[in-house]
């Protein structure tokens, strides 16, 4: 009988120890989860933004006050960003202990001004004023979409240096355009060669202070204005 009592007491002690260990583990898990969920965002990394500043994106995403990681839900951040007119798409993910937020944006930046409206990258329109090329005459319907796709290939810093765009068919090439740059130089381009304007800075750096017409539609030569 004494041996049975000892065994029963040993079993009870083991059960109590197991229960205590279980409770300790539960408490540790609870404290860890509570601590993690109440940890604040420590770093925000933003990629691909050119038109919008880091500060503007952080403000749009409502991360300015570095909220807790549970309040900074990635889906919620993505939704807020994509509701903004100037953001087409956003990718949001976290790293570290979920306290580092990474945001990759695809901007819906202003592309051109046409028929009293500013057209954005995705062709939504706005009445807001922006530094964009002004299309000064009508573009034929059959090349309008090609014109937009060509303009999308232009680097943003170059796009902001184009003052006006005029459709200027010469009877031979019906995809020819005449660009007025804000530095006083004019450029001829065709839709198939529109991306050549991205080399503009490199080209004009060889011209000194000369003004004239840059033919990038054919021949790629520069005609200096006569005094």
- Cα separation, 165 vs 143, whole angstroms: 14
pLDDT single digits (tens) 24-72: 777 777 665 665 666 789 999 999 999 999 999 999 999 999 998 888 8
Element (H, E) at 218: none
Contact call for residues 100 and 43 (beta carbons, < 8 A): yes
pLDDT at 165 (0 to 100)? 97
Our measurement of the distance from residue 183's CA atom to the centroid of its chain's CA atoms, rounded to an integer in Å, reads 28
- Cα separation, 105 vs 78, whole angstroms: 10
pLDDT single digits (tens) 62-90: 999 999 888 889 999 999 999 999 999 99
User: Does residue 9 have a pLDDT over 80?
Assistant: no
| CA distances, 93 to each of 27, 66, 140, 189 (Å) | 29, 15, 43, 41
Contact call for residues 213 and 187 (beta carbons, < 8 A): yes
Question: Which tops the pLDDT comparison, 170 or 182?
Answer: 182
Q: Which residue shows structure tokens 């090609």?
A: 146
pLDDT at 194 (0 to 100)? 94
Contacts of 36 (CB under 8 A, 6+ apart): 69, 97, 98
- Cα separation, 148 vs 63, whole angstroms: 34
pTM, two decimals, is 0.77
User: Does residue 226 have a pLDDT over 90?
Assistant: no
pLDDT single digits (tens) 127-139: 988 889 999 999 9
User: Does residue 2 have a pLDDT over 70?
Assistant: no
pLDDT at 11 (0 to 100)? 61
| CA distances, 82 to each of 41, 57, 107, 179, 214 (Å) | 21, 11, 10, 33, 39
**Residue 214 class from Cβ within 10 Å (0-12 exposed, 13-18 middle, 19+ buried)?**
buried
Coil, helix or strand for 164?
A: strand
> Model confidence at 162, in pLDDT bands (50, 70, 90)?
very high
Contact call for residues 133 and 119 (beta carbons, < 8 A): no
pLDDT at 84 (0 to 100)? 96
């Amino acid at each position: 009988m004494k041996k049975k009592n000892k065994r029963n007491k040993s079993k009870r002690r083991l059960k109590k120890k197991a229960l205590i260990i279980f409770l300790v583990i539960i408490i540790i898990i609870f404290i860890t989860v509570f601590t993690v969920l109440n940890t604040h965002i420590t770093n925000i990394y933003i990629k691909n933004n050119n038109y919008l500043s880091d500060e503007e994106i952080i403000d749009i995403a409502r991360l300015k006050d570095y909220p807790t990681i549970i309040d900074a839900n990635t889906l919620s951040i993505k939704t807020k960003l994509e509701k903004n007119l100037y953001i087409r798409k956003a990718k949001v993910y976290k790293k570290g202990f979920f306290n580092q937020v990474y945001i990759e944006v695809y901007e819906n930046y202003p592309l051109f001004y046409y028929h009293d409206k500013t057209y954005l990258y995705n062709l939504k329109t706005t009445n807001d004023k922006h530094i964009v090329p002004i299309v000064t005459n009508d573009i034929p319907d059959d090349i309008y979409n090609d014109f937009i796709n060509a303009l999308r290939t232009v680097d943003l810093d170059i796009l902001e240096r184009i003052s006006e765009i005029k459709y200027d068919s010469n009877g031979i090439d019906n995809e020819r355009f005449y660009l007025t740059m804000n530095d006083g130089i004019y450029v001829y381009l065709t839709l198939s060669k529109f991306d050549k304007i991205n080399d503009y800075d490199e080209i004009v750096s060889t011209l000194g202070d000369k003004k004239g017409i840059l033919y990038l539609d054919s021949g790629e030569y520069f005609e200096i204005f006569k005094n």
